[in-house]
Structure 1
Amino acid sequence: MQQDQLQSLLAVLADGEYHSGSELGELLGVSRTAVWKHLQKLAELGVALDSSRGRGYRLPGGMELLAAESISAQLPEGGLSLALEVLPLVDSTNTRLMANAEQLPAGAVCIAEQQSAGRGRRGRTWVSPFARNLYFSMLWRFDGGAAELEGLSLAVGVCIAETLESFGLTGITLKWPNDVLVENKKLAGILLEMSGDPAGTCHLVIGVGINVEMSLAAATGIDQPWVDVASLARVQGCERVSRNALCAGVLARLAALLEDYPEQGFADWRERWMMRAAFLGAPVRLITATQETLGTLTGVDKSGALVLSTAAGEQLFYGGEVSLRPES
């Protein structure tokens, strides 16, 4: 099934009302048999359909689909121009941008309703149910190489936290180096990937995944405590958060961050990260491929390095393949 036909079919069904097979066929320009095959494809993607003889098909409760026009309309005027691409299905938004980094402009953004091979840190699979969460990546170029990127993943976390807070959500914390939590449950993750010259011009892709409305069935593949925006909004008495508005809010903050970061660096973001630091002042265990370190988390330095107070004195950690856990 072509991506544009999938988008057209979903756009019709998104209102939650019944639509007959003949109506859908007319809109798509295909036969009733082809419509049935397309609907089967939606079922394979995990989209719950309701059918009724004589009435047709519907998506119970409707569905908010992501739309480049809606997201663009909610970006601030006068800001950086972002080239948005919204796809129903992609292997990975990060992979798509990385594969075309040389040809794409800085500010290219890939947004997907679902990823078939979404990735988190340390090679983990990012669970990606269709049209329930946010999965997007932004491409940027840096002329000063990796040295300009110190602490950037922490600043991205601040952008996500501040956007969520702008919708009235509270209790959001940042776990070094790449996770957004609420009550030690994962709400969002960040994956940065770089290509090019580490000492010169390089391409950076910032991947973001935010749990917005995760069903229990879809979450069976998640191996850690998690939470989503919808449940937080209900518990905290906030209005429902639109996926399009949330995406626009994070993208606007990311664009502003990336434009100024080579000159400002992490130092200007440090206090905003520290305000939300998970496990601050608490005993933690930091695990790498070769060792475990116990200590008290005292914060991060101006480069974004984690600072632990240990029995051997103060130690700094600079990222890589690490796992940070509270020490019970």
Structure 2
Amino acid sequence: MKNFIELFRLIRILSTGDAYSGKQLEEYLEISLSVLNQHIQTLRHWGLEIKFQTIKGYYLLSPIELLDEKKILRDLPEGRIKVLALVDSTNQYLLDNIETLRSGDACVAEHQTAGRGRRGREWVSPFGQNLYLSMFWRLERGTASAVGLSLVIGILITEVLHNLGGLDIRVKWPNDLYYRDKKLAGVLVELLGKKFKPAQVIIGMGLNINNTLSNKGIEQNWSHLKEAGITIDRNKLTVLLLLKLRSQLIVFEKTGLSTFISKWNELDNYLNRPVKLILGNQQIQGISRGIDQYGGLLLETKGGIKTYQIGDISLRGR
């Protein structure tokens, strides 16, 4: 616990982007040079780009504005959010506490040590660079009423970002946001429950804000909000996203996917464009024609239009 307190104090000191000598940091934290070096290496492993110059000392390549629970709660009616510095995964945190949650309860984290995306893939989660947010929702009509939910979440996030000026941000079936054909965000919906009983849903998202790391470990080209022309405090963005989700999921529960299909078609990154579906070792090429009433992808090939449901499938442009 002591090491973590020291680590977070070090992050707070460096977060402004100002430079500090090793001697200054040793005195501020009351630690030895060897311990300071260990802490610097840990923070670099977490994804913080800490540089060192003999004259300047240690500094962050880009300043970061840390998540602040007080700031978020000030603008979020009803509150009900937990701000975490370090967590294995925000989705897992809610799953571990699911028995105590109400619809709309959420958590957000600076860094995930085991962030995950769809199909069990790792979600790279550098400290303080992006937004890792999860929210709980209870669907009273059971798992069957969750059809198309990941698509709707993508639409809602995109609408928030459009209002902030990111007009070229699009949705990509079944759970991503794209900016100019590069991945900007991903959605992971985890559903618990039986068909005819109330279902518990964990809605997770990872949104690239200012990701300066290389593409190492990431299978797709990625983008971030600054590249899309959006500069916003992560605390404010957290509030805007939760307000949107909490209000519109009430609509989704009443009407299902049908209310949102036309909006999906307006935002679909690959609508009427050549694409390929990857199903294991098999690839199917065709033209994307949007989605059906159940959220399945409509793919036109020489044999006509066929629907593909969300599952172990990846969609790519070609």
Q: Which residue of 2 aligns with 1:113?
A: 110
Cα deviations by residue, 1:196-234 (Å, 9 ceiling, x for unpaired): 3233122101110111111243x322121111111222x
Change (3 A) 1:4 1:71: farther
Please give the root-mean-square deviation of Cα atoms over the aligned residues, in Å: 2.7
* One of 269, 274, 279 as aligned partner of 2:265: 274
Counterpart among 285, 297, 300 of residue 291 in structure 2: 300
Report the CA distance between 1:114 and its aligned residue.
Answer: 1.3
Q: Which amino acid aligns with 2:73?
A: S
User: Are the counterparts in 1 of residues 277 and 283 from structure 2 also a CA contact under 8 Å?
Assistant: yes
Partner of residue 241, structure 1: 232
The Cα of 1:303 is off from its aligned counterpart by 2.9
CA contact (8 A) 2:280 2:313 kept: yes
* 1:190 maps onto 2:187 in alignment: yes
Within-5 A mapping of 1:124-163:
124-163=121-160
Cα distance in 1 for residues equivalent to 2:167 and 2:176: 16
Distance in structure 2 (CA, Å) of the matches to 1:291 and 1:32: 56
Equivalent residue, structure 2, for 1:42: 43
Provide the C-alpha distance between the structure 2 equivalents of 1:220 and 1:144, rounded to a whole number of angstroms: 42
In 2, are the aligned partners of 1:86 and 1:112 still within 8 Å (CA)? yes
Q: What residue number does 1:227 align with?
A: 223
1:21 to 1, 22, 25: 25
Aligned length: 313
* Structure 1 residues not aligned, in runs of 5+: none
How far the C-alpha of 1:135 sits from its partner, in A, is: 1.1
Distance 1:170 1:223 in 2: 25
Query: Could you tell me which amino acid in structure 2 is paired with residue 120 of structure 1?
Result: G
Question: Following TM superposition, by how much is the alpha carbon of 1:93 offset from its aligned partner in structure 2, in angstroms?
Answer: 1.0
Given residue 217 of structure 2, which amino acid in structure 1 is its aligned partner? Answer: G
Choose 36-45 or 265-274, whichever is displaced more.
Answer: 36-45
Give the Cα separation in 2 of the matches to 1:13 and 1:84: 26
TM-score by length of 2: 0.87
Q: Provide closer, same or farther for how the CA distance between residues 5 and 266 of structure 1 changes in structure 2, counting only shifts above 3 A.
A: farther
Task: Name the counterpart of 1:285.
Answer: 276
Q: Partner residue of 1:205?
A: 202
Q: Give secondary structure in 2 for the equivalent of 1:221.
A: coil
Q: Tell me the SS of whatever aligns to 1:69.
A: helix
Kept in 2: contact 1:286–1:322 (CA 8 A) = yes
Range with bigger deviation, 51-60 or 278-287: 51-60
Once the two structures are aligned, what percentage of the paired residues are identical?
37
Deviations 1:273-303 (A, max 9, x none): 1101122112333233486544322212233
Q: C-alpha separation between the residues in 2 aligned to 1:59 and 1:284? A: 40
> Is the Cα contact below 8 Å between 2:168 and 2:228 reproduced in 1?
no
Query: CA separation in 2, counterparts of 1:68 and 1:187?
Result: 25
Distance, in Å, in 2 between the alignment partners of 1:23 and 1:264 is: 60
Taking the aligned partners of 2:286 and 2:54, their CA distance within structure 1 comes to: 64
Residues 35, 260 of structure 1: CA spacing in aligned structure 2 closer, same or farther, 3 A cutoff?
A: farther
